[in-house]
Structure 1
């Protein structure tokens, strides 16, 4: 029998990830009478398939039959384009159909649940600021806490140049999307001053992330493989609602709910290494921010403009 007299078509998802199971259908179509045959779906190394083989009864010209397989991608699979091949085998002939499924390169460490804030601090009293997120990343006030009134909430932390917030070593995860938010009052300019920091000194943005103010009070971001200084300028002497969102390379800075600057960076923050998360100082304790800070939060998602306006409610309820 000529193989042109029978068609084999494979239908599969365009993309799968490690751990996924998915149906694959194979349609056998006869242009002429086709004798009994067997059908097998071959998958790459690191994949499994069931059933292994199905028997295809004799088909009359014009007949069409659909057969269903289930494939599973294990952690031994190789990322990239993977070919699934259906082979219909007769006594002295065979017909073949194929489909390609893309298996993305897995992230270097887990991507956090986008529905759960990574950090939510509201300084109120004492030398420890509780993290009300489910991650319990409580912060210690280095230098001892001092509080004041006049901020967005009844109690704000004084940053007098010797105080900053620090956690125990922690990992933030791999972050294609993220939002960093703080109610902050800067009272000085003329030097670099940290807001968020989880990055070793001198890193170009390949490990961790930092967000700070330049000597002219522009918001700078170093992370996702790049460093950029935005056009967003934070005024001094008053509280400003500073929010920075990252959406797979698209960086947006909001000041008091309005877009103040945008930039392009790499696709994701590499937050896989274990180190302290700090606010108002770098990892060496330098570049300290002078002023005050009230509520602070980090989200593993890029908040929309509408959610930027209510990030406090999303973080603290």
Structure 2
């Protein structure tokens, strides 16, 4: 860069070295180091700034609860420019900067003026690279250029992007009716992931006592578990179960999947909140009301990985407190009925009964959940 002013004149190791230069316009930045013999340079962070004019505000639409815009094969992204001052913005243009391999193409009309106090919207088709991993993150920068007076001005907005997860199969990837009534195996009629009863777990009358059985658990070391994972807990999934608590007063998990240290999710009773919960190791979506012992409830936890939300349904009704988490907790261990996994070991054993457990590798809609109850 020409006309540099350096302080100090020669770089000093492990200290601040400031180099200033006149304003310039560029599309790329490259760092190139020529080291003296025996010396080396390490870069921990690179930041760049350009001033944003206060004559306009720029917003990028479509962000979900996680704060990211989810991009699938070709996603429409809108950029809205508002003239915040007393003057209209003339000759407005909007450009999107995306990482290498991404594309952003303008679509539709291009407004010729943004009137004072009003908005105008530009639309782009944004696509991720074909080999981008589901759930991977990137950053988009929207730049609006315009005139609100004699000189050209610009305003910028950064927006997080996230590659969409695949939609998943329509049907359940695992379903345990728990109607065996005897023996030590609970058969998976959907995906072949049979669960073995552990700790002396037994059978009892199910939710429909005349037609089915359920798993009876003491709350102390009893559960059922598979040998392999059933769900991709970092992606979108849904877990459903009929549950009955015989007592309160302790943490209790009806459905989970083991991770290295903790479960990727917990469909559970939270002792801290005295509520049913759909939880991760970071937080919980909670039921609206305190549960009653001895009563059957239908619990459904829905993780929408694209939106970054964990939502709990009780008896088909969406509960108010939703948990937002940008990335799901990956867990590649055993799928468990009647316990969780915390601190590197089994925990939170269920004191009561569990019946008709099903899981999907996608986020069910509210109407689909209501039809299950």
| 81 and 72 in structure 1: CA distance in 2 versus 1, 3 angstrom threshold | closer
Matched, 1:292 2:353: yes
Q: CA deviation at 1:144?
A: 3.9
Q: CA deviation at 1:141?
A: 0.9
Q: How does 1:222-261 map to 2 (within 5 A)?
A: 222-223=279-280, 226-247=283-304, 248-261=307-320
| 260 and 225 in structure 1: CA distance in 2 versus 1, 3 angstrom threshold | closer
- Separation in 2 of the partners of 1:158 and 1:73? 49
Q: How does 1:165-180 map to 2 (within 5 A)?
A: 165-170=224-229, 172-173=231-232, 175-180=234-239
Aligned residue number for residue 205 of structure 2: 149
Provide the secondary structure at the position in 2 that maps to 1:306: helix
Aligned residue number for residue 129 of structure 1: 186
Q: Deviations over 1:165-214 (max 9, x none)?
A: 111132622555332211111101011111222244865xxx71123212
Matched, 1:308 2:369: yes
- Separation in 2 of the partners of 1:16 and 1:186? 41
Aligned length: 230
- Separation in 2 of the partners of 1:257 and 1:105? 30
- Separation in 1 of the partners of 2:256 and 2:235? 17
Compare the two structures and name the one with the higher strand fraction: 1
Aligned residue number for residue 249 of structure 2: 190
- Separation in 1 of the partners of 2:132 and 2:249? 53
- Note the residue ranges of structure 1 that are not aligned, 5 or more in a row: 1-14, 22-43, 48-70, 83-101, 313-317
- Note the residue ranges of structure 2 that are not aligned, 5 or more in a row: 1-69, 75-98, 103-126, 142-158
- Separation in 1 of the partners of 2:132 and 2:202? 53
| 128 and 230 in structure 1: CA distance in 2 versus 1, 3 angstrom threshold | same
TM-score by length of 1: 0.59
Kept in 2, the 8 Å contact 1:183–1:293? The answer is: yes
- Separation in 2 of the partners of 1:176 and 1:299? 11
Aligned residue number for residue 75 of structure 1: 131
| 260 and 235 in structure 1: CA distance in 2 versus 1, 3 angstrom threshold | farther
Q: CA deviation at 1:150?
A: 4.8
Q: CA-atom RMSD, angstroms? A: 3.9
